Amino acid sequence: MVGKANCIQGIGLLARFRSDLNTARERLDEALPLYRNVGAVMGEANCLLILGDLAWRSEPDTARERLQDALRLYRKIGDVLGEANCIYDIGEIALSRAEYSAARQLFEDALALYRSVAHRYAGPVLIRKGQLAQLSASGAARAHFDAALALFEREPKNLALPGWRAFHAALVATDAAVAAEKREEARAHWTRVGRLDLVDRFLDLPVVRDETGSAAA
């Protein structure tokens, strides 16, 4: 049964990679009860995490429920990376809703967990921390952006790396035209290598602003 569930989940992940999100959801919804029936907690948690990740933009309340369920399971089995991934995605939901204080704390919690396992996924969290720092005018934004790029640079074979470099340039640019040009450069590269998830998360998310109109993205 676990083997069958793994195969179905794998088909869902492949569909997600190809941006066939409907098929991805269908396959993951199919695999989820199979994992539950045999008590495969890791498989169940992974399904819930991915389903939450797929839904965080279109159905944030449903996504948050999925992610919180996954978070409880990861904590139950002591999976720190899974726990960090859930908290990061819940932070993304908070950010998209302009719940900036909650987002800051969630990103701080996720970052601490990622660092405890020395995992490269700390990079996107640092970018979000930098964008939130821009909102609060704390002066720490550039340091966060640079730290994120340094993590990405540790994987020179990562096909998304040129896009991260362009996106970093957009984040630190002081000229609006240059920033826009670099964002489009990142979009073109990520699209070319099939990383539409990065386009969606970092380029297509609506610009968030504080009460004074300062942009964070």
Q: How does pLDDT run across 55-103, given as a tens digit for each residue?
A: 887 888 999 999 999 999 999 999 999 999 999 999 999 998 999 999 9
- Tokens 């939130």 sit on residue: 132
Encode pLDDT of 29-46 as tens digits: 888 888 898 888 999 999
Q: Does pLDDT of 136 surpass 90?
A: no
CA distance linking residue 180 with residue 217, whole number of Å: 11
Distance CA 99, CA 106 (A): 11
Which of 142, 183, 137, 181 is closest to 163 using CA atoms? 183
Nearest to 92 by CA among 214, 213, 198, 212: 198
Contact predicate 168/148, CB 8 Å: yes
Entry field: residues in the chain = 217
Instruction: Tell me the three state secondary structure of residue 209.
Output: strand
Rounded distance between C-alpha atoms, residue 194 and residue 90, angstroms: 24
Q: What is the DSSP code (8-state) at residue 200?
A: I
Domain boundaries of the chain, sorted by first residue: 1-102, 120-217
Top-confidence residue, 121 or 49: 49
Confidence of residue 205 (pLDDT cuts 50, 70, 90): low
pTM, full prediction: 0.87
Taking the C-alpha atoms of 138, 142, 148 and 152 in order, what is their torsion angle to the nearest 10 degrees? 170
Q: Average pLDDT of 9-33? A: 84
Per CATH, is 1-102 categorized as 1.25.40.10?
A: yes
With bands split at pLDDT 50, 70 and 90, how would you rate the model's confidence at 213?
Answer: very low
